[in-house]
Structure 1
Amino acid sequence: MLKTNARNALVGRYWRSFVVCLIASLLGGGIGLNVTYSVNSLSDGLSNLPTSTLLLILGGLLLYWIFSILWSTFIGSPLTVGRCRYFMESRQSPSPIGTLFSVFRTPYLNVVKVEFLVSLKIAVGMVLFLIPGIYWAYCYAMVPYLLAENPYMTTSRAMQLSKEMMYGEKLHYFLLELSFLGWMLLCLLSFGIGSFFLSPYMAATFAEFYAAMRAKAFAQGLTNSQELGGFVRHDASAF
């Protein structure tokens, strides 16, 4: 049902959605490099390098690591929230590509803060115990959508509401992710190029999942229209 709704939402809007996902991917994560791989690939020759050169390389990697974190925090995460808003708006009527950048205004810093703290908690859980990190990742999967709908939401409230919305739904979310496995394997055969064409379908499907969780939250009295006021629809001619 979710995938059917997603396909219907993409009718006549696929290529615009494709552009949104492409921009979000390139700006949000397209500049990333695997620092661990970079270090490992250099490890064989490090012992033969002068100390000054070695320090220069390590310093460069450290600066890149810091830059990557800052980029992800101040650019990547807001783009993720903007993409969520775009697909939620597009469920009933076309939304302009500019919706992707709608977060880059007041209260931009609140979105950055909430996303950073949530990501930090998940990362700490992954590094220390792994299982808590995976659990928290599913608990807080709805946070970007909540911020897309209410960018003023506090960190504690976003985490609490997302956790309540995902109660009893984590397995369903995992199975929904797993349902794209076949498509992902096909994308690998195209050297990853196919993933750009799959992204709109996946994003639209997970937007439908949030819509279902949102409806459940309203039915259970977990939130109200003052906190989650819905998504502004744009004119169909807007680009």
Structure 2
Amino acid sequence: MRVASDFRELARRALSGKWGSAVLTTLVASILGADIMVNGGSSTSGITNSVTNVVNRGNGDSSYNGILSTMSITSLTYILGAMMAIVTVLIVVGLVQYVIGSFVSLGLIQYNLDLIDGKDVEFGQIFSKASMFGKAFWLRLRMGIFTFLWTLLLIIPGIIKSYAYSMSGFIMAENPEMTAKEAMKVSEKMMAGNKWRLFCLQFSFIGWQLLCILSLGIGFLWLTPYMNAATAAFYDEISREPLN
């Protein structure tokens, strides 16, 4: 049975000579909203908080009251209107990314599976699952809903379920005839006894993640494809095991 270091080694071998393609493909896929192993923060929430802080501080801070008293109501309306317009645009962009990213995620998965199998890979593969748009979107939404509901019970059950459902995208990418419900069910069976192995694999990258943070995030351009390829290698192994 392979361990984390084995999956990392398989990923490095698969990426040898293909780093440029993998970095570009993963970067574009992430911009389009695909699920990747390393997630960034939400700029929308940050701006929303900024707007809230301005309003709240304006209500309770005397210095803000002094500033606001010198501004005309018209100017304040324009400023708040512009800020809300920015927030609205970011929300719309986020929704578009969520929708498009659903099938791009499956395309990125296929790219990494082919990479691990030693097949020729190309950038255009991230769009190869566009015909599965409906299923891909429902899978993403269903996984999010179920994980959220489990998280409402306690954080730990939510985390456990997120690992249980983690192979659903891989399963649907390889079995396009499956429904979202079926893919999630198969993922639960496949991950029985393998959740800890996936956790250990992900945790084994912690040192690289810290270095990437010190590089102001630039290192994630290379680390993300590395982690994705290692996860694909992990799936490749457990998918060959008989389901209970």
Range into which the TM-score falls when normalised by the shorter chain: 0.7 to 0.9
TM-score between the two structures when normalised by the length of structure 2: 0.78
Match of 1:104 in 2: 130
Q: Are the equivalent residues in 1 in contact too, given 2:32–2:97 (CA < 8 A)?
A: no
After superposition, residues 55-94 of structure 1 pair within 5 angstroms as 57=83, 61=87, 64-65=90-91, 67-72=93-98, 74-91=99-116, 92-94=118-120
Q: Are the equivalent residues in 2 in contact too, given 1:32–1:68 (CA < 8 A)?
A: no
CA distance in 2, matches of 1:21, 1:144: 16
Deviations 1:88-109 (A, max 9, x none): 112222222211110112x321
Deviations 1:67-117 (A, max 9, x none): 423421x21222121111011112222222211110112x32112112221
| Cα gap change, 1:95 to 1:205, in 2 (>3 Å) | same
Match for 1:210: what amino acid? Y
Match for 1:37: what amino acid? G
Task: Give 5+ residue unaligned stretches, structure 2.
Answer: 1-5, 59-67
TM-score between the two structures when normalised by the length of structure 1: 0.80
CA distance in 2, matches of 1:44, 1:3: 44
**Match among 5, 8, 11 for residue 10 of structure 2:** 5
Instruction: Specify the structure having the higher radius of gyration (Cα).
Output: 2
| Cα gap change, 1:31 to 1:138, in 2 (>3 Å) | closer
Shift of 1:31: 10
Deviations 1:105-133 (A, max 9, x none): 2x321121122211222233335632232
Q: How well do the aligned residues superpose, as a CA RMSD in angstroms? A: 2.6
Match of 2:155 in 1: 130
Percent sequence identity is: 30
Shift of 1:181: 0.2
**Match among 39, 44, 55 for residue 48 of structure 2:** 39
CA distance in 1, matches of 2:176, 2:93: 25
Q: Are the equivalent residues in 1 in contact too, given 2:11–2:230 (CA < 8 A)?
A: yes
Which structure carries more helix by proportion? Answer: 2
Q: Are the equivalent residues in 1 in contact too, given 2:172–2:180 (CA < 8 A)?
A: no
